[in-house]
Amino acid sequence: MSVLTGAGISTDSGIPDFRGPQGVWTKNPSAAANASIDRYLADPGIRRDSWRARLDHPAWQARPNAAHLALVDLERAGLLRALITQNIDELHQRAGSAPELVIELHGTLHRAECVSCDLITPMPEVLARVTAGEEDPPCPRCGGIQKSNTISFGQALKPDVLDAALTAARSCELFLAVGTSLTVHPAAGLCGEALDAGAKLVIMNAEPTPYDPFADRVINEPIGAALPGLVKELIDAAR
Ligand SMILES: NC(=O)c1ccc[n+]([C@@H]2O[C@H](COP(=O)([O-])OP(=O)(O)OC[C@H]3O[C@@H](n4cnc5c(N)ncnc54)[C@H](O)[C@@H]3O)[C@@H](O)[C@H]2O)c1
Ligand SMILES: [Zn+2]
């Protein structure tokens, strides 16, 4: 099976989602507008605020929760083909998921990138410069604007990463979407790709999603409790 995870799998680890009841954008809708690449490149003030937000991001304190660990059990039982995630927190890898199975559709917060020369550096190195007083630390190689190594609104996904996710969605018998509102494309469209290829779709999310009508099973329960139960059920069924 292939699994797609979203921000909802990490809320129990203390990282708020965007669109849930306690979501960053639910509480502050203007934050969404400032998340676009055009605004980021055009406005030094937005870049300064973004570096502060990266410095204070809850991901630096977060630990994997029971749901991340359950997906490691699924992998060790030989049942996981790919773990596609929209998250940028690396909590799947921290939990012990094999890095080669994790497909980070939206990149990672743990690295920084230069938008001019594509230099990638560890995020802690850049954040140390912010702490030392640089409000918008330029690229150490070319002086260009840096950002996190994540996909901003208005940016296309990396073609090789999207291809790997499409292949995983089209070549599984079961596609499980966990903790995602399934409103961000192309990530959400992976559910349709899996269905078109004949897979069953299972959705686990507190709130309704646009793909619920097409799912074989919809589980509207808290992920931290419900995912370990579902994984146990799947492992038992495969024995
Ligand atoms: N942890 C992270 O890395 C993180 C956090 C916030 C946003 N993001 C980024 O923002 C985008 C958000 O899209 P998305 O679809 O992943 O998230 P989303 O915010 O659009 O949706 C999250 C969904 O999870 C549900 N949910 C939250 N906690 C839950 C719980 N404990 N049990 C059951 N359901 C729960 C919410 O009801 C909501 O429908 C992604 O593209 C991602 O890159 C990442
Ligand atoms: Zn550069």
Residue 201's pLDDT band (cuts 50, 70, 90): very high
Q: What's residue 35's pLDDT?
A: 82
Whether residue 235 contacts residue 207, with contact meaning beta carbons closer than 8 Å, is answered with: no
Whether residue 148 contacts residue 54, with contact meaning beta carbons closer than 8 Å, is answered with: yes
Give every CB contact of residue 6 below 8 A, 6+ residues apart in sequence.
17, 85, 86, 87, 177, 178, 179, 180, 181, 182, 187, 205
- Helix, strand, or coil (residue 182): coil
For ligand 1, whether the C-beta of 148 sits within 6 Å is no
Q: How far apart are CA 121 and CA 55, in angstroms?
A: 15
Pocket test for ligand 1, best of 4, 11, 13, 17 (most atoms within 8 A of CB): 17
Nearest by Cα to 188 from 21, 15, 19: 19
Instruction: Give tens-digit pLDDT for 147-162.
Output: 999 999 999 999 999 9
Whether 216 has a pLDDT exceeding 90, the answer reads yes
Whether 222 has a pLDDT exceeding 90, the answer reads yes
Whether residue 89 contacts residue 59, with contact meaning beta carbons closer than 8 Å, is answered with: yes
| Distance between first and last Cα of the chain | 15
CATH 3.40.50.1220 fits 2-20+64-106+157-238, yes or no: yes
Whether 25 has a pLDDT exceeding 90, the answer reads no
Q: Is the pTM of this model over 0.85?
A: yes
Q: What's residue 24's pLDDT?
A: 85
Which numbered ligand comes closest to the C-alpha of 155?
A: 1
Question: Is 139 a known ligand-binding residue?
Answer: yes
Phi, psi angles (nearest 5°) of residue 58: -65, -15
Q: Where are the domains of the chain?
A: 2-20+64-106+157-238
Nearest protein Cα to ligand 1, atom 6: 17
CA–centroid distance, residue 87 to ligand 1 (Å): 8
Instruction: Give tens-digit pLDDT for 80-129.
Output: 999 999 999 999 999 999 999 999 999 999 999 999 999 999 999 999 99
